[in-house]
Amino acid sequence: MPDQEAERDRIERENPNKRLPLVRYVGGTWRVGGLLALSRAFGDAYLKGSLQYEGVALTGSLARTDGYSPGFGVTAEPDVYDVSCKDAAWVVVASDGLFNEEVRGGGGGLTNEEVAEFLGDNLNADPNELAADLVDAAVEAGSTDDVTCCLVRIK
């Protein structure tokens, strides 16, 4: 997230115009390009460099002579954490639109507690149907952002 200092530093290291920061505080949160409240995303291609690997500067015959590299430092490279889960039954992989993150944009959505309760009440449900139901619930709760959800049963 661009609200983390290490992420802002990572993005600003690649900034072709040091006079204008790529990560700015807009609308109550840090945003990449003043728009996106995430710094790692599968979509949002307009905030990534074109003809290159996720914002890495163009080199060789593709390099621009003015030193400018397209993109805003957004990458699809994930942050990876090792977590021990003792009693978990589901892994939720979802876009931010599933969640109630009003400060980052997208309106309503579900809280972590609501997602956990929803899943806990449906331990034997089909994961595909349950993921679709979670997406519907987020939209009903007021999410106006992209809502994508994938569930993996681990028990």
Give the angle 28-30-33 at the CA atoms, nearest 5°. 120
Q: How far apart are CA 59 and CA 76, in angstroms?
A: 20
Q: What is the pLDDT of residues 50-95, one digit of tens each?
A: 544 444 455 555 454 544 455 677 777 777 888 887 777 888 998 8
Task: Write out the chain's pLDDT in tens, 155 residues.
Answer: 888 999 999 888 878 778 888 899 988 888 888 888 888 876 666 566 554 444 445 555 545 454 445 567 777 777 788 888 777 788 899 888 898 876 655 568 999 999 999 998 888 889 999 999 999 999 999 888 888 899 998 86
Whether pTM exceeds 0.95 = no
Report the candidate in 49, 38, 44 with the shortest Cα–Cα distance to residue 8: 38
Q: 117: which DSSP letter? A: H
